[in-house]
Amino acid sequence: MSYFQNVGPIKYEGPKSNNPFAFKYYNPEDQINGQSMEDFLRFAVSYWHTFTGEGTDPFGQSTMVRPYNTFSGMDLAKARVEASFEFFQKMDVPYFCFHDFDVAPETDNLSETLKNIDVIVAQIKENLKTSKTKLLWNTANMFSHPRWLNGAATSPNADVYAYAAAKVKKGLEVAVELGSENYVFWGGREGYETLLNTDMKLELDNLARFFHMAIDYAKEIGFTGQFLIEPKPKEPTKHQYDFDVATGIGFLKTYGLDKHFKFNIEANHATLAGHTFEHELQVARINGMLGSVDANQGDTLLGWDTDEFPTDLYSTTLAMYEIIKNGGLGSGGLNFDAKVRRGSFDPEDLFLAHIAGMDSFAIGTKVAQRLLEDGVLENFIADRYESYRSGIGLEIVEGKTDFKKLEQYALGLTEIKNKSGRQENLKAILNKYLLEAYNQ
């Protein structure tokens, strides 16, 4: 049975193609850094937005027309698995990601929920045998059910904490069973609403204990994938503990967890934290902790996680710049944590949206690669910091000076000359590279 009869396999047709159901820029076979574009970018489909999302918002009901909507309960879950593998194959994506709750219905009874997960995981495993698409990461949904209203591993209620542990324990077992390459922790409700009723120290200590137990259990059952923390400053909780990468690093180092984790960086979470996407990628990269990416974009006019498909070429270019400098994403990938708008309700929109996102990242990759090959920003930056490569600057960098010597040096200065940062010119150069990437 086919769930998406109207759409055939999506192929690369090149920039001149007018076929909406074809890649114009993403050619999986193109080379980047000695790897194919497909192997370098490691695109992933997010199960929740693509197959589970219904288009509801706080004011309105579901709008999505989906071929499996006639089913319910476990039948719906099973139909979604079949539809998802058809989608993966037609999109030709190498990876997908899911929360336990996306694939199997969660009930009020834990053992029943775990059984539901087992049934669906067995079905996914069967599909994986014949599919090229693999599991990039899985995670536990510990934010939808009412029991999580005060958090999971930071809940004031120890019973909830134990329940959360049971879910993550299962998640790690599923990760092993399906060969997942990573395991993600996004703490949607790990934070607080008001300090008037919160013991922040206990909550943070408990969160760290939770992570340590996860590491121990992963070791025990032989899960060798990468642990990832996905920072987000707020939403649904007012203040989330994993606010941004820098805050996450501070937390991990405080609790001796930093060797075990990298970050899964989401573009829209970066902007919610008041940073650019590339800022978060760079903070992770320079600390050796850039693990994976949730590729999406926000809306400057809206102050929440709109999870739009990424189409902003400046953003994809500057993100790919960081990713190429990082030498790729290792076991991570580019997961489209993105949803079609409520008004884009046709099943075909799911394909069109992924094509838009994949093409946008392919363009960004090509532009970033050329910028790096020509050393455009590298050379400019090297020149800007030139004063640290000789004389007093070199002494600073090599730790061979002190306040007294620096004072002596400063007293001897007659004139200080600064150099222009040339921001506007650099942006114009970026424009030139963007326009030329496919017009040569």
Residues in touch with ligand XLS (CB under 6 A): 99, 139, 184, 186, 230, 232, 266, 294, 305, 337
Q: What value does the CA radius of gyration of the chain take, rounded to a whole number of Å?
A: 24
CB of 257 to ligand XLS, least distance (A): 19
CA end-to-end span of the chain: 44
What span, in angstroms and rounded, lies between the C-alpha atoms of 349 and 343? 10
Cis peptide before 156 (omega within 30 of 0): no
Q: Give the Cα separation of 79 and 233 in Å (integer).
A: 35
- The CA-CA-CA angle for residues 251, 252, 255, to 5°, reads 85
Smallest distance from the beta carbon of 337 to ligand XLS, in angstroms? 5
Out of 266, 278, 280, 308, name the contact with Ni ion by CB under 5 A. 266
Smaller CB separation from ligand XLS, 324 or 340: 340
> Judging by beta carbons within 10 Å of its beta carbon (0-12, 13-18, 19+), is residue 354 exposed, middle or buried?
buried
3-state secondary structure of 347: helix
- Catalytic residue ranges: 99, 102
Owner of token pair 């009869």? 5
Name the binder of 275 from ligand XLS, Ni ion, none, CB < 5-8 A by kind.
none
Which partner, Ni ion, ligand XLS, none, binds residue 139 by CB below 5 to 8 Å per kind? ligand XLS
C-beta of 118 vs 312, nearer to Ni ion: 312
Q: Which of 99/167 has CB closer to Ni ion? A: 99
337 binds Ni ion (CB under 5 A): yes
The vertex-384 CA angle with 379 and 390, nearest 5°, equals: 100
Residue 278 in 3-state DSSP?
Answer: helix
What is the C-alpha to C-alpha distance for residues 49 and 55, in angstroms, rounded to an integer? 9
CB of 255 to ligand XLS, least distance (A): 21
**Residue showing the smallest CB distance to ligand XLS in the complex:** 186
Going by C-beta distance under 8 Å and a sequence separation of 6 or more, which residues neighbour residue 412?
A: none
Nearer Cβ to Ni ion, position 307 or 322? 307
- Which amino acid, 150? N
Contact indicator for 211, 255 with CB cutoff of 8 Å: yes
Q: Shortest distance, CB of residue 97 to ligand XLS, whole angstroms?
A: 8
Region of 28-36, 109-117, 214-222, 259-267 interacting with Ni ion (CB under 5 A): 259-267
Smallest distance, Å, CB 168 to ligand XLS?
12
Residue 99 vs 285, nearer CB to ligand XLS:
99
Q: In this complex, which beta carbon is closest to Ni ion, that of residue 312 or of residue 348?
A: 312
- 10 Å Cβ neighbour count for 312? 16
Q: How many residues bind Ni ion (CB under 5 A)?
A: 4
Residue 165 DSSP symbol: H
Max Cα-Cα span within the chain: 82
Of 240 and 360, the one with the shorter C-beta distance to Ni ion is 240
With CA atoms as reference, report the closest residue to 283 among 246, 337, 311.
246
Q: What is the smallest separation between the CB atom of 144 and Ni ion, expressed in angstroms? A: 14
Q: Identify what 280 binds: ligand XLS, Ni ion, none; CB under 5 to 8 Å per kind.
A: none
Smallest gap from residue 301 Cβ to Ni ion (A): 18
String of contacts with Ni ion for each residue 277-316, x by CB under 5 A: -----------------x----------x-----------
In this structure, what DSSP letter does residue 293 have?
E
Binding site for Ni ion (CB under 5 A): 266, 294, 305, 337
